[in-house]
């Protein structure tokens, strides 16, 4: 049976670190408040001259190196992002050019923080359907450029970075076992960027009204995230006739420590099974799961045959899960 297997992981983050203590000097907040309410201690911020494609390309290069796959062998490049280099062309096309992945089809998807799981699902279907044999799925963001650094409700949560996987058609039992994707557009106003699209184009008025920045209703998002992520995790397990005790490692979207803890508790997972790195990176949206995956993988936390569960939630609203036998 042909399955889609993750054969390489990679990640890349900016060098520049912005700590909670730095934020204390920018908005009315404290390290104690941010740590207690979110679990975040610091985040990475892109420097001038660094773009979403910069980190996407570096993460992809590292994933290709681990997989032992040449860029020229890649059939498909999917970049999940809400902070593309340009409205068009797709950041995936820039990555294709940077890598020299000449035969790859390349496009972006905008599913906010669920983008990586969405991209993985699309790549899995392309590979099992036979239209691609080797693909790159990348989650990459430079959110710092759409954050209002005077808004204490949002500026402490987000960070920049990228994660990537190489996926390949393989025979056998190892690989992606299932993906489940969901959305509910009736909640679109809970988390969005008002400006720079066709409703509020990038003109002076949009800038003056500060509509270029991300806005969020944090409390509502929090409650919906816990419920949706629990449902998506259980759906993945039920589909594969597994129980939470079968999970070797749970890699959830890294938005808020309290959201992750609540889901871990509902699933009955011990802290040793739940991978968390948001203390160092904050919420990197589409990059968060592949960034955490790469750290866990290179840190020796994932072994052959392990059951790995990805669980995502984001603006849209969008959410979903992917279950993998490593």
Ligand X SMILES: CC(C)(COP(=O)(O)OP(=O)(O)OC[C@H]1O[C@@H](n2cnc3c(N)ncnc32)[C@H](O)[C@@H]1OP(=O)(O)O)[C@@H](O)C(=O)NCCC(=O)NCCS
Q: Tell me which residues are annotated as active site.
A: 113, 253, 283
Binders of ligand X among residues 88 to 127 (CB under 6 A) are 113
CA gap 326, 317 in Å, rounded? 29
Q: Among 152, 227, 257, 298, which residue interacts with ligand X (rule: CB under 6 A)?
A: 152
The residue (of 45 and 260) whose beta carbon lies closer to ligand X is 260
**Interaction between residue 218 and ligand X (CB under 6 A):** yes
Q: Are 138 and 95 in contact (CB under 8 A)?
A: yes
DSSP 160-223: -EEEEEEEEEEESS-EEEEEEEEE-GGGGGGEE--SSSSSS-SSHHHHHTTTTS-EE-HHHHHH
Three-class secondary structure of residue 291 per DSSP: helix
**Interaction between residue 222 and ligand X (CB under 6 A):** yes
Other C-beta atoms within 10 Å of 272: how many? 8
**Interaction between residue 283 and ligand X (CB under 6 A):** yes
| β partners of residue 182 | 319
**Interaction between residue 318 and ligand X (CB under 6 A):** no
The residue at minimum Cβ distance from ligand X is: 218
The residue (of 101 and 191) whose beta carbon lies closer to ligand X is 191
The CB-of-158 to ligand X minimum distance in angstroms stands at: 8
Segment interacting with ligand X, rule: CB under 6 A, options 32-40, 73-81, 122-130, 173-181:
32-40
Other C-beta atoms within 10 Å of 114: how many? 34
Q: Among 10, 175, 314, 316, which residue interacts with ligand X (rule: CB under 6 A)?
A: 314
Q: Which of 190, 178, 167, 160 is nearest to 85 (CA)?
A: 160
DSSP 127-159: HHHTS-SEEEEEEEE-GGGSS-TT-TTTTTTB-
Segment interacting with ligand X, rule: CB under 6 A, options 33-41, 60-68, 89-97, 142-150:
33-41
The residue (of 191 and 302) whose beta carbon lies closer to ligand X is 191
CA gap 310, 292 in Å, rounded? 10
Q: Among 131, 153, 205, 303, which residue interacts with ligand X (rule: CB under 6 A)?
A: 153
The CB-of-159 to ligand X minimum distance in angstroms stands at: 12
Q: Which residues of the chain form contacts with ligand X (CB under 6 A)?
A: 29, 33, 37-38, 113, 152-153, 156-157, 216, 218-219, 221-222, 225, 255-256, 283, 313-314
């Amino acid at each position: 049976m042909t399955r889609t297997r993750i054969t390489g992981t990679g990640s890349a983050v900016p060098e520049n670190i912005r700590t909670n203590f730095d934020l204390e000097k920018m908005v009315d907040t404290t390290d104690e408040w941010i740590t207690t309410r979110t679990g975040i201690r610091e985040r990475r911020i892109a420097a001038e001259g660094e773009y979403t494609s910069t980190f996407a390309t570096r993460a992809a290069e590292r994933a290709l190196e681990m997989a032992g796959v040449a860029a020229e062998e890649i059939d498909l490049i999917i970049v999940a992002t809400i902070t593309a280099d340009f409205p068009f062309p797709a950041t995936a096309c820039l990555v294709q050019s940077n890598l020299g992945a000449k035969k790859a089809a390349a496009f972006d998807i905008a599913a906010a923080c669920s983008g990586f799981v969405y991209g993985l699902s699309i790549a899995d279907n392309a590979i099992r359907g036979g239209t691609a044999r080797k693909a790159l799925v990348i989650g990459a963001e430079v959110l710092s450029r759409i954050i209002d650094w005077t808004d204490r409700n949002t500026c402490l949560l987000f960070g920049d970075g990228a994660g990537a996987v190489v996926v390949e058609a393989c025979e056998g039992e190892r690989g992606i076992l299932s993906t489940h994707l969901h959305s509910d557009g009736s909640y679109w106003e809970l988390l969005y960027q008002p400006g720079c699209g066709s409703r509020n184009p990038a003109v002076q008025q949009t800038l003056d009204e500060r509509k270029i920045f991300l806005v969020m209703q944090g409390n509502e998002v929090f409650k919906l995230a816990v419920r949706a992520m629990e449902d998506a995790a259980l759906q993945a397990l039920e589909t594969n006739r597994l129980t939470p005790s079968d999970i070797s490692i749970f890699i959830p979207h890294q938005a808020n420590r309290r959201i992750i803890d609540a889901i871990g508790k509902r699933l009955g997972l011990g802290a040793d099974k739940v991978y968390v790195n948001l203390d160092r990176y904050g919420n990197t949206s589409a990059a968060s799961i592949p960034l955490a995956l790469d750290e866990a993988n290179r840190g020796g936390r994932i072994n052959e045959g392990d059951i790995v569960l990805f669980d995502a939630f984001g603006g849209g609203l969008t959410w979903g899960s992917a279950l993998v036998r490593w």
